[in-house]
Amino acid sequence: MEIADGVFTYLGRLGDKIRPGAGSSSVTVVKGDYLVMIDTGVVSGGAFDDLVSRMKADGLDPRDVRLVVFTHAHWDHINAASKVISRSGAGTAAALKEIPYIEDHKKNFNAFIRDFAEFAGEIFPLPLPVARLLIRYAWGRQPGLTVSQSLDDGDTLNFGREIRAAALPGHTDGHMGCFIPDAGVLASGDLVDFENSEGMDLNNPRSSYESAVGSIKRAISLNPDILIPGHGEPVVGRQRVREMLEGGLAGGLEYPALIKGVLGKTPLRLKEILRAVFPGTPFSTEAMRMMLVLIVILYMEKRGEVRRVVKKGRPAWVLGEKQE
Ligand SMILES: [Zn+2]
């Protein structure tokens, strides 16, 4: 779909039956002297073939892609890159902090699960080795990828028009958005996700609550007319984009107060906090929201607002000494 002049975007369709846009990222293609692709989505489940046929229907040839830009290293955003590259010989670009994860599948995979091993028993309703196997299966085998170009905040790609790199850390530390000034489009990667999470997309051990707050403010300041999130439908209209981003930010800013509101002297485990803060969370989004709650709790822990204890061998939290 051509969402703005020469800017095409394709919703990820894999996993739609579970949650809209859940399994594969959206793909954005910008047409200048050649094509630049922002994220690639995945190969599995026919997702890549489907992308190719949708591009062709829009008169775009995947062989004309000269550069693939990654918003971050996650599997659902980079998986089809080797397919795109083998067809087109395209180069690749990403923020410096994402490159080691993109180039090293094992490091990328481990960062998703092993770094939170102590919480995995809480987050996944399965024993850790089983959860690990499932995730490994879902992530598939990642063919070796090399990144040919690193992008800093403010760097521009010029190809008869411009794409400006905008550092938007939070979802991961090197997470980056792509701003297309002549179209007022911001491809925001996983900065926000209005369909699957509560606005903020903090779903892995590399996520930071503090950074996400700053990055949503930054995105608002770019004044985009169109926002293309990494998952789910694009948001069109400057006013609407601002409302959605401000809503996501306001929601996010409430998390610490909500968590404090349910904590006291009785230690609560992650699942208990989640159920009190977000009652009625469906099973399909429970693990993701628990991760979000955990990221916020770790931020609060660092500030002394909550304190970690052990309850029946599992991590649990009570109110900390330091309160604002
Ligand atoms: Zn991601």
Ordered alpha helix ranges (H), the chain = 47-57, 75-78, 81-88, 99-103, 105-113, 117-123, 128-139, 209-221, 238-262, 270-277, 283-302
Considering the chain, what percentage of its residues have pLDDT values greater than 70? 91
Residue 234 pLDDT exceeds 90: yes
Mean pLDDT of 22-50: 91
pLDDT confidence of residue 56: 97
- Token digits for 176? 């980056």
Residue 112 pLDDT exceeds 80: no
The region of weakest confidence among 38-52, 57-71, 118-132, 242-256 is: 118-132
Mean pLDDT of 135-156: 83
pLDDT confidence of residue 20: 47
Mean pLDDT of 266-291: 88
Ligand 1 midpoint to CA 62 (Å): 23
The region of weakest confidence among 151-160, 279-288, 295-304, 311-320 is: 279-288
**Residue 109 CA neighbour count, 13 Å, CB half:** 17
pLDDT confidence of residue 80: 93
Considering the chain, what percentage of its residues have pLDDT values greater than 90? 69
Ligand 1 midpoint to CA 274 (Å): 21
Ligand 1 midpoint to CA 313 (Å): 30
pLDDT confidence of residue 195: 74
Model pLDDT for residues 269-278, shown as the tens digit of each residue: 999 999 999 8
What residues pair up with 62 in beta bridges, in sequence order?
A: none
> From the CB of residue 255, how many other CB atoms can be counted at a distance below 10 Å?
24
Mean pLDDT of 93-100: 97
pLDDT confidence of residue 143: 64
Mean pLDDT of 231-249: 95
- Contacts of residue 150, Cβ cutoff 8 Å, sequence gap at least 6: 93, 94, 95, 96, 99
Ligand 1 midpoint to CA 182 (Å): 27
- Cα–Cα separations (whole angstroms), residue 202 to 76, 144, 211, 243, 320: 15, 26, 10, 20, 23
pLDDT confidence of residue 182: 98
Q: Report CA Rg, the chain.
A: 20
Ligand 1 midpoint to CA 230 (Å): 8
Ligand 1 midpoint to CA 25 (Å): 8
Ligand 1 midpoint to CA 227 (Å): 17
| pTM of the model as a whole | 0.92
Ligand 1 midpoint to CA 261 (Å): 29
Mean pLDDT of 69-83: 94
Domains of the chain and CATH, by start: 2-103+144-252 (3.60.15.10), 255-319 (1.10.10.10)
Ligand 1 midpoint to CA 251 (Å): 20
Ligand 1 midpoint to CA 200 (Å): 12
Coil, helix or strand for 27?
Answer: strand
Mean pLDDT of 121-126: 74
CA angle 135, 139, 141 (to 5 degrees): 125
Ligand 1 midpoint to CA 76 (Å): 7
Model pLDDT for residues 184-193, shown as the tens digit of each residue: 999 999 999 8
Ligand 1 midpoint to CA 319 (Å): 30
Ligand 1 midpoint to CA 287 (Å): 14
pLDDT confidence of residue 274: 93
Residue 219 pLDDT exceeds 90: yes
- Considering 2-6, 23-27, 133-137, 280-284, the range whose residues carry the highest mean pLDDT is 2-6
